[in-house]
Structure 1
Amino acid sequence: MNRFSLADKTLRLLAAQVNLNGTFHHSCNFKNTNLPLIFVMQVERSSSGTLFTIDTADEKHSLTVYDPDKDTHLVLADFIESIATGRMDTAEPATPRVRAESVDLGQPLDANQQEQLHQLVRLGGSLKLDVGLDEAVSLAVHRTQSRKGITAILVAGDCCSRTQCFTAYGDDKHSFNRLLQSLNHLVASAAPAALAA
């Protein structure tokens, strides 16, 4: 049986949405197929647990998580993947999830984007990255001349943009880590606002 796997962008959205109350519409593709899954997810949080209701075109499924933790979005992702695969009727246990490093560590970048970021730190320049928000994040990096380091400007959004600017002195590894940390903070601050809109 084919194992559908949600894309990292969808996992990042779920990670933010499990902490909110409301109804969220998803149209997502799986990593290993071109078939889209369109569903509506309703989140109802209470003091005793969180109820997730997934509505697809002709099915409705619900899942209650009583002890939410930082991996609740992964439990929810397994549930959604089971619906897509058709395991909900057979009660076949899900195969163990291989956790995406970018989601577990709170890093919004995949390996290719991290390499682009390394290149940006080494050479300077500008870059637009899709990190799961409605709009891409723009980065501009200038290599400092007086001391080894970078000056960076990060912008998320256009109309109500969130901006970070900093200078970090040190080797390329230190500069990359500082840039990645700032990007993570920017995405974390912009994600709740984007999801609420």
Structure 2
Amino acid sequence: MADKTLRLLAAQVNLNGTFNHSCSFKNTNLPLIFVLQVERSSTNTLFTIVTGDEKHSLTVNDADKDKHLVLADFIESIATGRMDTAEPATPRVHAESVGRGQLLDANQQEQLHHLVRRGGSLKLDIGLDEAVSLAVHRTQSRKGITAILVAGDSCPRTQCFTAYGDDQHSLDRLLQSLDHLAASAAPAAPAALAA
């Protein structure tokens, strides 16, 4: 993400409002055009990214002094997820990287497959201090899912998105969001940001 966009995000995370953006990324050929909606409360900030027919949400605790970097990673993950590879963006946070294969065991992967096919809720232990809660709703108007992921209770990190497409695409997007949530909520992340 360009330095100019990072400077804009650093200012916008402290405001309430709606902002239009167009960003280019090194690992994508097309720019991401999106609307950023910022809703601040007394303890956290809700960021909503609207791009095309997709809507993604991220809640960041106000105690996190580098909210714009967390938001930039989230936006980069969205941009990368729109490509065929559906691989998450390289995290800007220098936390220990957790590969998708190491994040979930075979039983947990099967639970996610079932969740995408049927909808419902699930708690997963992926090695963080607290379990990750997931809720998946099957969309009715078009084939796809709306998902909410929450890591932690005392200082929760939240992601919400809607993905349209077949079950494999929905599962890939869910895994991508889970990877990003794990990276942003990992205990090493705050220490890396402070360094």
Give the TM-score normalised by structure 1.
0.45
Whichever of the two has the greater Rg, that structure is 1
Considering Cα pairs closer than 8 Å and 6+ residues apart, tell me whether 1 or 2 has the greater RCO.
2
